[in-house]
Structure 1
């Protein structure tokens, strides 16, 4: 049995969110100069190699990692995450890190809203109220009807919806498959799909940008490794609120490196979304303890 160490788990989650924020910054830089499909494809090549390496070191090797009674759902999960990454990176290009992550922060609310129809879980009126309040925060960020609304703002919202569905399907397949199996299918199916698309968008990359590309691949592997370690040493409910720090780190990078700014309506909207999201996490934890 894995020994629980909440303090270490929190520290690892903070490190993980920082690594993923750096990854987002690198993705934005590369996608501004090259095809999003090509950038994500190369990233997935490294990710798939990492996943396969991990699988070969486990008992049973690749055969055990790939074994599943629900290949269609596992495959769909992998495709969904790959396309979500493409959508989110596109959002970084058109909206920047600050506003993309501000809207993407709604994904825990979407998870709560969709957990009923997807997983058959009960969502009480308190969480529905928090979800509604959270989407008021989204409207404040998007400013519909004020003459400055950009349809690009819907890009990270679509990514949040896709990521929420991916998370719910991950919980669904976990009823029968191990996390190692889900991890294997995520990396391999995503790599196959992105190669089929991205290879048509190949273009020459400069030597410095190849350096950034390699760094992007390394941060991806490092982030997934630390995330695995997070859940090995601590309960998900105790560390999940700290995942919101990716918004803080990514926004800081956006401001310091890319010269982005935080508009007042975005700051207010994010505060509302974060409060609503943290409440839904707390209520989910309370319900789990009651049951």
Structure 2
């Protein structure tokens, strides 16, 4: 069993969120200039190369990486995540990084709410209360029925739901498949589905933006490597709450790079959602240990 180092795990998770925030900023720029399908396809080409490289260096090689107890579910996971990334990147370009991420922060609450009916997990009254409070926060952000409500915000909510579905599927296959197997299927299946779609939307890209695309791919690989290392050295329950720092880093990028503004309702709603999400993650970990 690997030696646990919670402090190092937290530092790695903070670095992960910073790298992913930069990745989202670059995605927002490229999606504003080019088709989302093409951008995500090229990103997946590099991601697939990364997971195949990891698989060849792991014990058992590619044969071990592809051996899954749930091949159809793994295919579904890869497809759902690839399409979710397309929805998320589109939301970044249409809604802005700050607003999109504020709504997207609700995905742990969606996972907790759906884990009962989908996975048969027990969700107690404390977590249901936190889930309810979190969705109040989402309503504060969206302001349904208000004169300035932007229906494009529902795109970010769709992305959060898709990512929650991906999380539930990941938890399901994790009962028998290792994280390395799931990572391999995630990268390769996402690459397959995006390669079937992306070439139909190909656009010429200027040299400067090819540089941004290369940086986007590098941040994707670095972010996933840091996240894998974080979960290797520390328990998920200890480091997962720090994933919410991505909203903080993204907000800085949105405000100072893209001149976005943070509305009062978005700030307050995001605080409510993040607080409820952190409590839900903490409570889930405590229940799991007790069980």
> TM-score normalised to the size of structure 1?
0.99
Q: d(CA) in 2 for partners of 1:286 and 1:49?
A: 37
Q: Name the residue aligned to 2:42.
A: 42
Q: Name the residue aligned to 2:224.
A: 224
Query: By how many angstroms is 1:91 displaced?
Result: 0.4
Deviations 1:56-111 (A, max 9, x none): 00111111100112111000000000000000000001110000000000011001
**Residues 1-291 of structure 1: matches in 2 within 5 Å?**
1-291=1-291
Long gaps (5+) in structure 2? none
Long gaps (5+) in structure 1? none
Query: By how many angstroms is 1:125 displaced?
Result: 1.2
> TM-score normalised to the size of structure 2?
0.99
Q: d(CA) in 1 for partners of 2:48 and 2:286?
A: 37
Query: By how many angstroms is 1:144 displaced?
Result: 1.0
Q: d(CA) in 2 for partners of 1:109 and 1:183?
A: 23
Query: By how many angstroms is 1:149 displaced?
Result: 1.1
Q: d(CA) in 2 for partners of 1:195 and 1:151?
A: 30
171-180 vs 13-22, greater mean Cα deviation: 171-180
Query: By how many angstroms is 1:178 displaced?
Result: 1.0
Deviations 1:147-204 (A, max 9, x none): 1111100011111111111111111101111111101100000000001000100010
Query: By how many angstroms is 1:289 displaced?
Result: 2.3
Q: d(CA) in 2 for partners of 1:54 and 1:267?
A: 39
Question: Secondary structure, in 3 states, of the residue corresponding to 1:151?
Answer: coil
Q: d(CA) in 2 for partners of 1:168 and 1:143?
A: 28
CA RMSD of aligned residues (A): 0.7
Q: d(CA) in 1 for partners of 2:265 and 2:60?
A: 53
